[in-house]
Amino acid sequence: MTKNISVGLLGLGTVGSGVFQIINEHQEELVHQLGCGVKVEKILVRDVNKERGVKVDPMYLTTNPEDVLLNPEIDVVIEVMGGIDETRNYILEAFKVKKHVVTANKDLMALHGPELQQAAHENGCDLFYEASVAGGIPIIRGLADGLSPDKIQKVMGIVNGTTNYILTKMTDEGVSYEDALLEAKELGFAESDPTADVEGLDAARKMAILSRLAFSTSVELEDVQVEGISGVGVEDLQIGKQLGLTMKLIGFADFQDAQLEVNVQPTFLRLDHPLAAVKNENNAVYVNGDAVGETMFYGPGAGGLPTATAVMSDVVAVIKNLLLDVNARQFLKPRFEKKLKTPDQSFGSYYLRLQVENNIQTFSEISTLLTDLKIGVDRIIQAPQQNGETEFIVITRETNLEKIRTALEDLQKASVVKEVKSHYRIEGGIGV
């Protein structure tokens, strides 16, 4: 049997503890897969005396990053410490001394992924990052390997468990956004500061990573149009249910005719859409390819052991490459020049909720306004309110985003419209 392969950990939090646990408890499986064992040599921590969820001999712990990065016994560095600038420097240092790197850091990969991949290639090293998107779901390897011969046209998914949990509670139980968020915090699904989750930034980082891989083009975080769920109300979710729709925070990436669209926004889905049944903290990514057609990857999007499993799948892949002497063969430069779609090239159906004057001219004026903009209407539903006012729910046919933006501005100015209360994209058309 080949000698054990030594790894070093940067970080021993929830995911790092999971990695340490899997290495210790799954040695037989690792030996069966690799023909050798995997040994943790050193672990970088900020406080060696901190109480942790796993028992670790203090001899493994260090507060000096060089004990991991420059340790000649360590072949693979596993980065699970988080952060961006300091972590980036550590990884670049690891590459300089020919150490392979596995990371779970979505923030780092979203902002510096291309640079780090280039540095890994130049130094003959592997850089794998399966756990950076959707926790235990093997979406990165699915795109990089399983679907690599295909032309991917669309990637869309629920890639943030916090927001999916909140929207599930609001939809199924009618609780307010504030109460659902509080419950998510109490259960550990949301951070004490949930801004990155609920405002869509976490999902945007993941969509930037997935888009680069799926479409072989250079996607930056600023290319992703982002809208979160903090403005979503229970009223819209309940109306959606009556229309055969459910709402999810959807990361959407589309690549047609070498033109790219990437966004994150609350989106209504038909109830028969594959993503509509994904509830609570679970994640799912739906992929449409020219040859394979429709596929979906589903599973836990977070959690120590699911994410650690994704990390260890990368570690196994690195070690297999190391044993076969085929490291640094995965790097591919972007194939296509980035061309972002303009609003007039982005198409979808839309849900509009309007507070309107309760008079006979209202329907006619709204219909005329939309007709003048050449926006087709599937239906307009009148919903009388207890206060004597009236709401109109407008469901458009497929139209472009530029026309919708113009319509929203014109409706806000229309004499019969008191307020445009909400508007959301509908994926897959109306459900009933």
| Number of C-beta neighbours around residue 13 at 10 A | 15
Q: Which of 391, 385, 384 is nearest to 419 (CA)?
A: 391
DSSP strand E in 190-316: where? Answer: 225-226, 245-256, 259-270, 282-289, 293-300
Query: Would you call 97 exposed, middle or buried from its count of C-beta atoms within 10 A (0-12, 13-18, 19+)?
Result: middle
Read out DSSP for 109-138?
HHHHHHHHHHHHHHTT--EE-GGGSSTT--
Buried b (16+ CB within 10 A) or exposed e, 245-272: bbbbbbbbbbbeeeebbbbbbbbbbbee
Q: How far apart are CA 25 and CA 31, in angstroms?
A: 12
Residue 2, SS3 per DSSP: coil
**Does the active-site annotation cover 98?**
no
Inter-residue contact 74 to 315 (CB < 8 Å): no
The Cα–Cα gap between 28 and 300 comes to 25
Distance in Å from the first CA to the final CA of the chain: 62
Q: Distance between CA atoms of 351 and 236, rounded to whole angstroms? A: 9
Element (H, E) at 413: helix 401-413
How far apart CA 176 and CA 115 sit, in angstroms, is 42
Question: How would you write 131-168 as a 3-class SS string?
Answer: HHCCCCCCHHHHHHHHCCCCCEEEEEEECCHHHHHHHH
| Contact yes or no for 248/285 (Cβ under 8 A) | no
Q: Contact at 8 Å (CB) between 198 and 192? A: no
Q: Out of 106, 206, 248, 341, which one is annotated catalytic?
A: 206
Residues in the chain, total:
432
Interior angle at CA 134, CA 130 and CA 138, nearest 5: 45
CB half-sphere exposure, 128, CA atoms < 13 A: 32
**Residues known to be catalytic:** 206
